[in-house]
A = this chain, B = another copy of it.
Amino acid sequence: MSYQIIIGKQDFLESLRGKDASFLLSCSVSNTCEIPNLSQAGIPGKLHLTPTLDAEYLTLKEVRSLDNIATTPKGIPTPALITRAVHELKPFKAIEILNLGFEIEPQIEHFEIHNFDLKPSGNIVNNASINAFEVFQKGVAFAQEYQAKGEYTILAETIPTGTTTATATAMALGYNCENCFSSSYKNVPSSLKQEVLQKALAHINTSMDVFEKLSAVSDNMIIFNAGFILGLQASKHKLILAGGTQMASVLLVVNSILQTMGGELDTSKVALCTTKWIAQDNNSDIKAILEQLDFPINAYSADFDFSHSKSEVLKLYDQGEAKEGVGAGGALVYGLINGLDKNSVVQKVEQLLGL
């Protein structure tokens, strides 16, 4: 098998077999990442650089804004390596960067970088202070003018402490899934995360509308992509949300917006793809998140792990470190339904690591 079904049926994904895809990387920074030890998605003290480095590495196989690729303190390399490995073996039709608020802009030429005049969003502990409706509208507008280079689109994300803002988003919107969200850590720093969430949710009250809530505790990636999904509904273009619980949170936002504004989501055009590490994670439950949606959705996980790798550091993924990001799960599914076998991807990742 090249993938497993998390929820739904295989039909959506099978219909994409053999088709080529554009890859959109939504890059954003939430200043929540300034809180020490909340995320290991990058270099301590330099987490705000992670989206910049991921964008550079994915497109160029080189980091330019730092002297090495982003790894965790344990040395676990960014999942951008996995996405890059797939791109080398079965290239995406195009990679485009969505600038949803870089701290440092990536040094990339010749690739399309879409700018939306967005800055990193605030630390949710102090109120993220996002102009949420404007960010949402920018997502809708971008979708409406979007010219896909591939037959369908894979939408990925890189944003440090993104699972924390995703959890806060879901809780603020009233979903019952506090313990469903993933973390870049194997051993989640739950008391710290609890404290952050508690402080963030103190900014929320029941008289607020959806966008007011998002303004306080969400992030630009989530809000923009909720708009992008809805804006794309007018076309026939199919979209894969490549990510774990953060992308599930994007769908929760879509669900809440539809509850408020009316309308339906045609999910014959949207599905979610993530990694096996997310699908089988004992500390989170992406399926439970997706089951809270009012619409049916198809979600899949790539049948890929590093059990046959010679790299001990890569095997940490199988133990639950890092798990997902930079669209690794969606990229793996894309490769596997286009004829790549697992071993060739493992070998390519090892080669990228210089092994």
Contact = CB atoms under 8 A, between A and B. Distances in A.
Interface of A: 2, 9-12, 14-15, 17-20, 59-62, 87-94, 108-111, 268, 337-339
Contact of A339 (B11, B91, B94): B91
Nearest to A62: B10
Contacts of A88: 2, 17, 339
Contacts of A92: 17-18
Contacts of A94: 18-19
10 contacts: A2-B88, A11-B60, A14-B59, A18-B87, A19-B91, A19-B94, A88-B339, A89-B339, A109-B268, A110-B268
Contacts of A14: 59-61, 110-111
A91 B11 contact: no
A33 B89 CA distance: 42
B339 A93 contact: no
A99 to B, nearest CB: 17
Contacts of A110: 11-12, 14-15, 268
A109 B339 contact: no
A168 B17 CA distance: 38
A91 B17 contact: yes
Contact of A111 (B11, B19, B62, B339): B11
A53 to B, nearest CB: 16
A61 B3 CA distance: 12
B18 A111 contact: no
B338 A18 contact: no
A92 B19 CA distance: 8
A154 B59 CA distance: 22
A131 to B, nearest CB: 32
Given A11-B110, A11-B111, A110-B268, A19 B59 contact: no
A173 B20 CA distance: 45
A93 B18 contact: yes
A-B complex: 8 closest residue pairs judged by Cβ atoms: A18-B91, A15-B110, A11-B109, A11-B110, A17-B91, A89-B339, A12-B110, A18-B93
Contacts of A111: 11, 14-15
Contacts of A20: 18
A241 to B, nearest CB: 16
Contacts of A90: 339
Contacts of A87: 17-18
A111 B13 CA distance: 10
Nearest to A12: B110
Contacts of A338: 91
A105 to B, nearest CB: 14
A111 to B, nearest CB: 5
A103 B183 CA distance: 51
Given A11-B108, A110-B268, 10 more contacts: A11-B59, A11-B110, A14-B60, A15-B110, A18-B20, A18-B91, A19-B91, A19-B94, A90-B339, A91-B339
A286 to B, nearest CB: 22
A286 B14 CA distance: 34
Contacts of A9: 109
A8 to B, nearest CB: 10
